[in-house]
Structure formats: C-alpha cells, structure tokens
Amino acid sequence: MSRRPTSSASMFGGAGGRDSRASVSTLQGLRSALRPDSQKTDGDSIASAQPDDKRTMKGLNDRLSGYLGRVRQLEKSNTELEDKIKEILKRRGKMTDRDWEEIEKPLVELRKQVRQKTMENARLILQIDNSKLANEDFKNKLETEVVARQNVDRDVADLRKVIDDTQLSKMQLESQIEAVREELAYLKKDHRDDVMSLRLKVKDSDVTVEVDSPESNLASTLNKIRAQYEKVADKNREDTETWYSKRFDNIKIEVAKNTESIQSSKNELTDLRRQKQSLEIDVQAISQMILSLEENLRDTEGRYGHELGRLNRVLQQLESELSQVRAQVERQANDYEALFNVKMKLEAEIESYRKLLHGIDSTGDFTLEHALKSEPPQKEPAKKSKGKEVAPKEKTEDKAQPDDKAHKPDGPAQSPAK
C-alpha cells in the first residue's frame, strides 16, 4: 500500500467538518497566528480583533472535538479490526507461516481418491492388456486349429479317395472272383461231360477184334486208361482247387486289410469330426468371451472417463476456491497493513497535535490572554487561508487522506516526525 506524505494540517482541516474556520499545520504556524503584532498597538485594533480571535478559538475547539471524536471512532474501528484479525489468526494460525492445513484437508481425501482411481485404472489397463494378449493367444490357437482342420480335411479327402479306390478294387476283385467261379463251374461241367461221354463210349463200345496175336486183356487196359484219366482229372481238379483256394485266400486277406483300413479311416474320420465340433464350440466360446471383454472394456473406459472428468471438475473447483481463499487472505493482510499504517499515521498526528497543544501551554511569554488582547493577523491572508484550508465533509470520512494543495499555513510548513 502506497503511503503519501501527510502533515498535521490535513488531519486538522479534515476533522472539524463544515464548521471549521481555520487550519494550523505546525506549532510555528499556530504561534505565528496567535502571536501579537508589535507593529500595531492601537486599542481600537485590539478591540476589533477580539471577536475574530474568539471565533478562531471556537473553530479550533470545534475542530478539536470533532477530531477527537473521529479519533475515538477510528480507534474503535481499529480495535474491532484487530479483534477480527486476531480471531482469524487464531483460527488459521500465523500469517507468516502460510499454514494452509485447514484448506488442504478436504483436498487430501480427493487426492487419495484420485490416486486410487489412477491405480484402479492402471490395474484395468493391465487387465485389458492381459485380455488383449489372451485374445491374441486365442487367435493364434484358432489359426493353428484352422490350419490343423484344413490338414485334417485334406487327409479326410485323401482317405475318401483311398476308400473309393479300395471299393473299386473290391468290386473288381469280386467281379474277378465271380468270373473265376463261373469258369470253374464251366470247367467242372465240361469235365463231367467229357467223363460221361467217355464212359458212354466205353460202355457202348462192343467191338470184337480178332487178331492173330497173343491174347490181351482189354479190360485191364481200359481200366488202366480209365485210371490214368481219373488221375489226370483229379490232378487237374486239385490244381485248380488249390489255385482258386490260394487266390481266394489272397483276396480274403486283401479284403480284410482293406476292411481294416476302411474301419480305421472311419474311426479317424469320426474322431476328426468330433475334434472339429469341439474346436467350433471353443471358437464360438472364445468369440463370445472376446465380445464380452470388449464390451466390458468400453463400459469401463466410459465409466472411469466420466468419473475422472467429474473428479477433475471438482479438483478445479477446489483449486479455484483455494486461490480465492488465498486472495482473500492476502487482501485481508493488505487491509490489515493499510489499517496499521493509518493507525500509525493517526498516532503520529495525534502525537504532533499533543506536542502542539503542549507547546502552546508551555510557552511562557505567550498566553491566551495575550492572544485575545493582541492584534489579529492581516485579514487578507486569513481569508486566503480560510478559503484554501477549510476541508469538505467528504474528506473527513475518507480515513483522513492527505491533500497537499488543500492547506497553506501562515508560517513556514514543518512536517512532524512520524
């Protein structure tokens, strides 16, 4: 707060109100105003000066009483302000320490909540990252399973081709077996026909041959021939049966092998279909879990974004209130300093006024009677000083602010020591 140089004349001129008649700035000015003029000793002038001196003293007394009332009012206001300042200092602590503990208390819980929300947000972000990693892992597994499924599908297609080839081979073998059976039946029938025809020929043959040779046994010869044919037929039949039995055994072995491979392929196909169904179920479950996690992520981000926005608004409001409180405290400190300066100025002016009064009382060669009997000072300077030194009522209410141009003392101005 700026302090302008003041003098006792400003307070004296401002405290008397509208009834003030004159203004005295220093002790020397008062003495010069009341001191008798040695150059004018006429009785008429002394008699004419007495009413002016009385009016001057009356004005001084009125201004003194008004000034003392103003001083008492200011002292009362100063006491009330000091009590308020002491109460504020007791409630808030010393101003020099700047202890904002009472103001910081509501912010501590908010800071804790913000810290907790930040930690919870970090945990959620970590969970989201873990979910993303799990999602990537599941996607990789899904791609691996899809590739395995494609491989299995290719294997199944190959097995189906093998099954088709096997069935075709089986049909060919069955047709060959049927042809061999028909051929065997045809050979057996042909053999039986040949045997029957030979038997009929042998039975029906009634030829008598007479030769001039030793007697031969025809019956034994025929029996031998019949035995040879039967042996050949039996051998052919055995060979044919052996060949066909071996061929049937080989075909049975191949059919058994093909049947076993077909059965294993069917079992493998069933297992692959079961695995495919389980993988499809897993893929659907993983997709549902991914969708739910993404939905939870969006909900969590929206909820905590709204909560953080609200906390930020509350924090900004509290910071604004804190800045307002600090500005109010600083303003109160400035007001207190200004009031303290006003008090010091008032005390200095009161002290100078007391010195002025004590100086008048302690002057040995100048008394009130001398002042009343003495000639007044020249009227023109008095009028000029009256016109310039009478302060308006508005300035008396402005905490006794100085006005350097409002007062011009009769004598040389001397500022009192503050």
The reply to whether 394 falls in a domain is no
Task: Among 121-125, 252-256, 406-410, name the one with the lowest average pLDDT.
Answer: 406-410
Q: Which domain holds residue 239?
A: 117-206+214-316
With 60 as the cut, is the pLDDT of residue 33 above it?
no
* Closest residue by Cα to residue 139 from 261, 286, 347: 286
Mean pLDDT over residues 371-390, rounded? Answer: 41
Q: Give the model's confidence band at 21: pLDDT under 50 very low, under 70 low, under 90 confident, else very high.
A: very low
Task: Among 49-58, 87-96, 376-385, name the one with the lowest average pLDDT.
Answer: 376-385
The reply to whether 291 falls in a domain is yes
What backbone phi and psi angles, to 5 degrees, belong to 189? -65, -40
The reply to whether 186 falls in a domain is yes
Cα–Cα distance list, 84 to 1, 247, 332, 338 (Å): 20, 127, 10, 15
Q: What is the pLDDT of residue 360?
A: 54
Q: What is the pLDDT of residue 412?
A: 38
Q: What is the pLDDT of residue 94?
A: 52
Q: Give the model's confidence band at 92: pLDDT under 50 very low, under 70 low, under 90 confident, else very high.
A: low
Q: What is the pLDDT of residue 383?
A: 39
With 60 as the cut, is the pLDDT of residue 30 above it?
no
With 70 as the cut, is the pLDDT of residue 385 above it?
no
The C-alpha angle 81, 83, 89, rounded to 5 degrees, equals 100
Mean pLDDT over residues 21-37, rounded? Answer: 45
The C-alpha angle 238, 244, 246, rounded to 5 degrees, equals 100
The reply to whether 139 falls in a domain is yes
pLDDT, tens digit, 9 for 90 and up, residues 95-111: 455 566 777 777 888 88
Q: What is the pLDDT of residue 248?
A: 79
What percentage of the chain reaches a pLDDT higher than 70?
A: 68
Give the total number of structural domains in the chain: 1
Average pLDDT, the chain: 72
Cα–Cα distance list, 46 to 24, 98, 339, 368, 374 (Å): 22, 67, 47, 14, 6
What backbone phi and psi angles, to 5 degrees, belong to 150? -60, -40
The reply to whether 327 falls in a domain is no
pLDDT, tens digit, 9 for 90 and up, residues 273-316: 888 888 888 888 888 888 888 888 888 888 888 888 888 888 88
* Closest residue by Cα to residue 375 from 69, 13, 40, 33: 40
pLDDT, tens digit, 9 for 90 and up, residues 153-173: 888 888 888 888 888 888 888
**Residue type for position 143:** E
pLDDT, tens digit, 9 for 90 and up, residues 108-155: 888 888 888 889 888 888 888 888 888 888 888 888 888 888 888 888
Q: Give the model's confidence band at 205: pLDDT under 50 very low, under 70 low, under 90 confident, else very high.
A: low
Q: What is the pLDDT of residue 189?
A: 86
Query: How far is 145 from 139, CA to CA, in rounded Å?
Result: 10
Q: Which residue has the higher pLDDT, 395 or 71?
A: 71
The reply to whether 352 falls in a domain is no
Q: What is the pLDDT of residue 206?
A: 54
Q: What is the pLDDT of residue 404?
A: 41
The reply to whether 398 falls in a domain is no
Q: Give the model's confidence band at 379: pLDDT under 50 very low, under 70 low, under 90 confident, else very high.
A: very low
Q: pTM, whole model, 2 decimals? A: 0.29
The reply to whether 94 falls in a domain is no
Residue 407, classed as helix, strand or coil, is coil
Q: 10 Å Cβ neighbour count for 92?
A: 18
Q: Give the model's confidence band at 409: pLDDT under 50 very low, under 70 low, under 90 confident, else very high.
A: very low
With 60 as the cut, is the pLDDT of residue 339 above it?
yes
